[in-house]
A and B are shown apart, each in its own frame.
Chain A
Amino acid sequence: MNAALQLKDVHKSFGSTKIINGVSLEVRAGERHAIIGPNGAGKSTLYNLISGRFPVSSGKIFLGEEDITGLKPFQINRKGLSRSFQVTNIFHNLSVYENIRCAVLWPAGHHYSFWRRVGGLREVKRRAEETMERIGLAKRRDVPAGVLTYAEQRALEIGITIAGGAGVVLLDEPTAGMSRTETAHAVQLIREVTVGKTLVMVEHDMGVIFDLADRISVLVYGEIIATGAPAEIRANRAVQEAYLGTLHHA
């Protein structure tokens, strides 16, 4: 089995504060891998390191066979890794359709072209509309993204992340702030759109995790203390002490 995403002894410090303390992680191709841990464990920082938002202090990150350590976000994205954000990070003034279209343009090969009318790009249109359908926002196509409801914005967030067809998808707390029904919808959506892709997911909702994840890694104070199938993790002593004991259950 080959690793879609690999972290090798990654460290990150901000000034004198160590946030990530030697994380090694291997995400297998096609699996759904969850990362859990208490607040402040460094989950968002880890995402920021993988996606290129912050540089690592030391260590290496591999996407498939390629070393992506130190590359810029747009370079990493072009190699096939896409991420969503915990705090919704969409294009507020653009419509739902235009938001998704932005994520399709580069993978569709249109780059910086200023000699083609974007409305006439049929392949782009098809892919964007298809994504809109999948995330259930086709009816809200022309609504400016800033005006959508919170759950709709979270769906759009996921939409932008997968529209480009990236092989490795990182979702950062996709169901944060959602009600029970909204969460159930989101889980179904995530399951559908990540078929055939590698999914890494940071989540706090254990119900979602145990529903979706093939394997779970537990991050505590910048270190991975356990990795394994959900049942193993649930039974793991150290994990229970550090984390699960304090969480709400499914």
Chain B
Amino acid sequence: MRYAPVNLGRWVLWGTTVVVFAVAPLVFTSSFALTLLTQMGSFIIFALSYNMLLGQGGMLSFGHAVYSGLGAYIAVHALNLIGKGTVVFPVTLLPLVGGLAGMVFGILFGYVTTRRAGTTFALISLGIGEMVFACVLMFPGFFGGEAGVSTNRVVGKPILGISYGPALQVYYLVAVWCFLSMVAMFALTQTPLGRMANAVRDNPERAEFVGYDTQKVRFLQLVLSAFFAGVSGALSCINFEIVSAENVSAIRSGGVLIATFIGGVPFFFGPILGAIVFIFFVAALSGFTKAWLLYLGLFFVLMVLYAPGGLASLVMMQIPVLRARRFGALLLPYAAAAGAAALAMAGLIGVTEMVYHLSDVSGGTLMTLAGMEFDAKSGVPWAISVSLLVLGLISLHFATRYLARRWAEIKTA
């Protein structure tokens, strides 16, 4: 798999990224948008670090939040020490502290986890994640118990006007670290270790037979990945000014897994895409419906079944077609499939929201959806939703057949 954008001029792409990062808050000016952008920035680092394990090293981890979370805890204590004046250290470089902490834990836990590969590795990572989570709750002295440890990111005098009080300044801090981390992680893929990590992923046995200790390769890859996870943890600490057990939870680990996979594991930019989509999904959708986790789970499962290369693979699939100027032939099938999917989704949302509403016995049976008010217990909305769902699924079946036929035509012609 190529880990570079295909023939699009590397400098153009990196340059565009810088511009996008710099300009984004000027385009999306609401404070809600700004918090989203900042979260996306640190989550991008987190997801990219996760893909160092999965996409590049072939290691599926269910406990990656351990490194980002512990990095965050170390960072928050460091920040509090800076605030009290016990230590002099620029807040701007705090992510480095988080990164080093993550790296230390990577060495500690990595030694145990990388002794096995494959499914066993995945389960061990889960076990370590649960263990760390349980420990965090057991030692409230250091970890602050359920409430966590809070901090203040505005410490000392502003340097060059930067105090990190305003959210905009935090955004740019995150953006700079995000860009630097992206460059660093991309550069790592071009090193002997990065290349051998790919080889170990593809064929660990053969990698041994060309002189490489696969366990050591995996171990080093994990340690480096844990560094960047720690960086993202520290940035999260600065942004939210609180670190709690949630930062090392299985939920967080699961979240980065889902985000990276949805974005696309085989491509370097996949996790970037996935991080953006995921944060958007979580932040935007969770405000609208209580069933957002169900929708996310469904989306994830559908991706595993039908597009295991993620959104990135769907994007990359179009490129040869675009270059051959045959994309026009796909417009109608795509529109048909999109329409059918929309129908099915409308039906699904209707059914799900109604069930959710009914199961919550305290709220009564009246509800609003898409601006319409109706009684969730009456037959009419059920009939409409179910028929939309069924109709949508049937037409989706035919639309995807049509799309597949058109694709086959384009490939052979």
Listed in ascending order, the chain A residues whose CB lies under 8 Å from chain B are 51, 53, 72-74, 77-78, 82-83, 85, 89-94, 98, 101-103, 105-107, 110-119, 121, 160, 164
For A110, what are the chain B residues with a Cβ–Cβ distance below 8 Å? 192
Asked if A93 contacts B198 (CB within 8 A), the reply is yes
State in angstroms the CA–CA spacing of A78 and B101 once bound together.
Answer: 34
Task: Please pick, from A73, A74, A90, A119, the residue contacting B190 in the complex, using a CB distance under 8 A.
Answer: A119
User: Separation in Å of the B96 CB from the closest CB of chain A?
Assistant: 17
User: Which B positions have Cβ atoms within 8 angstroms of A?
Assistant: 1, 187-188, 190-196, 198-199, 202-203, 205-214, 216-217, 220, 224
B203 to A112, Cβ gap below 8 A? Answer: no
Q: How far is the CA of A115 from the CA of B187 in the complex (A)?
A: 9
Query: A103's contact among B192, B198, B210, by CB below 8 Å, is which?
Result: B210
Cβ–Cβ < 8 Å partners of B216 in chain A: 112
In the complex formed, the residue of A with least CB distance to B187 is: A117
- Residues of B with C-beta under 8 A to A77: 208-211
> Contact at A102–B224, with CB atoms within 8 Å?
no
B-chain residues with CB within 8 Å of residue A117 when the two chains form the complex: 187, 190-191
Q: What's the nearest-Cβ distance from chain B to residue A156, in Å? A: 11
A89 near B193 with CB under 8 A, answer no
- Per CB-CB distance, the 10 closest pairs between chain A and chain B, nearest first, are A106-B211, A114-B193, A73-B208, A103-B210, A91-B202, A110-B192, A77-B211, A114-B191, A74-B208, A102-B199
Q: How far is the CA of A164 from the CA of B209 in the complex (A)?
A: 10
Q: Cβ of B206: which chain A residues have Cβ within 8 Å of it?
A: 85, 89-91, 160
Q: Which of B1, B194, B214, B220 contacts A93 (CB 8 A)?
A: B1
- Check if B199 sits within 8 Å of A74, measured CB to CB: no
Establish whether residues A89 and B210, one from each chain, have CB atoms under 8 Å apart when the complex forms. no
Which B residues are in CB contact (< 8 Å) with A114? 188, 191-194, 220, 224
Q: Tell me, in angstroms, the Cα distance from A94 to B3 when the chains sit together.
A: 11
Query: A112 near B220 (CB under 8 angstroms)?
Result: yes
Query: Is the Cβ of B191 less than 8 Å from the Cβ of A116?
Result: yes
> How far apart are the CA atoms of A160 and B217 in the complex, in Å?
19
Main secondary structure of the interface of B (DSSP, over half): helix
When C-beta atoms are compared, the residue in chain A nearest to B223 turns out to be: A114
Contact among B188, B196, B213 with A102 in the assembled complex (CB-CB below 8 Å): B196
The 8 Å CB contact of A116, one of B192, B198, B205, B224, is B192
Q: Given contacts A102-B199, A112-B216, A114-B220, are A74 and B192 in contact (CB under 8 A)?
A: no
What are 10 residue pairs bridging A and B, where the CB atoms are less than 8 Å apart in the complex? A74-B214, A77-B211, A83-B209, A91-B203, A98-B195, A102-B207, A105-B195, A106-B211, A114-B224, A117-B187
A91, B205: Cα distance in complex, Å: 10
Within the assembled complex, what's the spacing in Å between the Cα atoms of A83 and B209?
Answer: 7
B193 near A112 with CB under 8 A, answer: yes
Contact A92 B196 (CB under 8 A): no
**Interface-central residue, A51, A98, A112, by most chain B CB under 10 Å:** A112
Q: Is the interface of A mostly helix, strand, loop or mixed?
A: loop
A100 to chain B, nearest CB (A): 10
Q: Give chain A nearest CB distance to B203 CB in angstroms.
A: 5
CA–CA, A90 and B194, complex, Å = 18
Complex formed: what's the CA distance from A111 to B191 in Å? Answer: 10
* Least CB separation from A100: chain B residue: B210
CB-nearest residue of chain B to A102: B199
Instruction: Point out which of B202, B203, B206, B209 has the most chain A C-beta atoms below 10 A from its C-beta.
Output: B209
Please determine whether B195 and A106 come into contact, CB atoms closer than 8 angstroms.
no
Residues of A near B188 (CB, < 8 A) are 114
- Separation of A105 and B200 alpha carbons in the complex (Å): 14
- Chain A residues, CB < 8 A from B211: 74, 77-78, 103, 106-107, 164
Which listed residue (B187, B192, B203, B208) contacts A105, Cβ 8 A?
Answer: B192
Give the residue name and chain of the B residue nearest to A114 (CB): B193
Asked whether A115 lies within 8 Å of B191 as measured between CB atoms, the reply is yes
Min CB gap B63→A, angstroms: 23
Known: A113-B191, A119-B190. A73 touches B199 (CB 8 A): no
- Alpha-carbon separation in the docked complex, A103 to B195 (Å): 11
Q: Are A118 and B191 in contact (CB under 8 A)?
A: yes
Residues in chain A near residue B214, CB distance under 8 A:
74
Tell me whether A92 and B202 are in contact in the complex, defined as CB-CB below 8 angstroms, given that A102-B195, A119-B190 are known contacts: yes
Closest B-chain residue to A101, C-beta based?
B195
Of all chain B residues, the one with the shortest Cβ separation from A124 is B192
Residues of B within 8 A of A98 (CB): 195, 198
* B193 engages A113 (CB within 8 Å): yes
- Are A82 and B191 within 8 A (Cβ)? no
Closest to B206 in A: A89
Judging by beta carbons under 8 Å apart, are B205 and A89 in contact?
Answer: yes
**Distance, CA A175 to CA B209, complexed state (A):** 20
Find out whether the CB atom of B192 lies under 8 angstroms from the CB atom of A111. Answer: yes
Contacts of B199 in A (CB 8 A): 91, 94, 102
A51 touches B209 (CB 8 A): yes
Give chain A residues whose Cβ lies under 8 Å from the Cβ of B202.
91-94
Question: What's the Cα separation between A103 and B203 when bound, in Å?
Answer: 13
Output the least CB separation between A48 and chain B (Å): 11
CB distance from B296 to the nearest CB of A (A): 29
